[in-house]
């Protein structure tokens, strides 16, 4: 079992959510754009303003697009440049995940990007959850010196992946941090922490926030066919974050 105080990371895509994470008692944020696709790299402006407005650790997502985690040479070049930008703007860590076409960790490119990110800490995100062999993938990440792996136990949510997460914590044996994430909230956080032994959890703590727009033309939509609400958005909620932390058993 991992030891030490429980650490909480909030996945965010706005300055408002960064404030909520801080008010709710989190230790750090994972800063993304485009959470509907699982998170992509945030803008330089977003990184700079979040860094200036909160005292929390800021982990910056390095992901050039949604979809799979097998990247072209130009996409890889974008990731290299985005790491340089995140470092220059005061990020504390970067979050990445690269796989080969056969579903293994892309060790060569992961090693190179991690080296470029140092001395920042490096998290391998839930690309891990679609890798072909989680035990092999974990050993690869340990060999590469990656600091942390975010996982739902290769299931849609962490509560469904409890058994594998617990196994990964035992396998890691302190050599890498296992960060549980995926559908964690105030009603299941305690169960996940107790049954897996993780000492770090990742969640959004979001709820709906209505738009301040008074005039609304609801005939026009700015996105694709899935059509998320145009006059409603999701933001982190300090109260919900605090309740989830409490439920997870943090003193």
pLDDT in tens, 171-181: 999 999 999 99
Give yes or no for residue 233 having a pLDDT over 80: no
Query: How high does pLDDT run on average in the chain?
Result: 93
Q: What is the pairing mode between strands 177-181 and 200-203?
A: parallel
DSSP letter at 151 equals: E
Domain ranges of the chain: 7-120+185-209+225-247
Cross-strand partners of 234: 208
pLDDT in tens, 105-141: 999 999 999 999 999 999 999 999 999 999 999 999 9
- The pTM score is 0.90
By C-alpha distance, which of 249, 196, 247, 236 is closest to 9? 236
Measured between alpha carbons, how far apart are the two ends of the chain, in Å? 18
What is the per-residue pLDDT across 193-231, written as a single tens digit (0 to 9) for each? Answer: 999 999 999 999 988 888 888 888 877 766 655 556 656
Specify the CATH number for 7-120+185-209+225-247; select among 3.40.50.720, 3.20.20.380, 1.20.81.30, 3.20.20.150.
3.20.20.380
Instruction: For residues 14 and 3, give the distance between their C-alpha atoms in angstroms, rounded to a whole number.
Output: 31
The Cα–Cα gap between 131 and 105 comes to 7
């Amino acid at each position: 079992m991992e030891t030490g105080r429980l650490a909480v990371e909030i996945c965010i895509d706005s300055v408002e959510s960064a404030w909520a994470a801080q008010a709710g008692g989190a230790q750090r944020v994972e800063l993304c754009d485009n959470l509907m696709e699982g998170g992509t790299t945030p803008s330089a402006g977003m990184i700079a303003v979040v860094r200036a407005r909160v005292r929390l650790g800021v982990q910056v997502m390095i992901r050039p697009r949604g979809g799979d985690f097998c990247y072209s040479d130009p996409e890889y070049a974008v990731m290299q440049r985005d790491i340089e930008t995140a470092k220059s703007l005061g990020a504390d860590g970067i979050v990445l995940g690269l796989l080969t076409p056969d579903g293994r960790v892309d060790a060569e490119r992961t090693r190179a990007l991690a080296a470029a990110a140092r001395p920042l800490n490096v998290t391998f995100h839930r690309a891990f959850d679609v890798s072909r062999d989680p035990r092999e993938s974990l050993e690869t990440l340990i060999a590469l010196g990656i600091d942390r792996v975010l996982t739902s136990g290769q299931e849609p949510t962490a509560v469904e992946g409890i058994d594998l997460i617990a196994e990964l914590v035992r396998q890691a044996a302190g050599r890498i941090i296992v960060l549980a994430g995926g559908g964690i909230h105030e009603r299941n956080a305690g169960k996940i922490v107790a049954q897996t032994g993780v000492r770090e959890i990742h969640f959004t703590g979001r709820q709906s926030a209505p738009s301040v727009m008074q005039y609304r033309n609801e005939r026009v939509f700015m996105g694709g066919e899935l059509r998320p609400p145009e006059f409603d958005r999701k933001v982190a909620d300090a109260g919900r974050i605090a309740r989830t932390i409490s439920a997870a058993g943090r003193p």
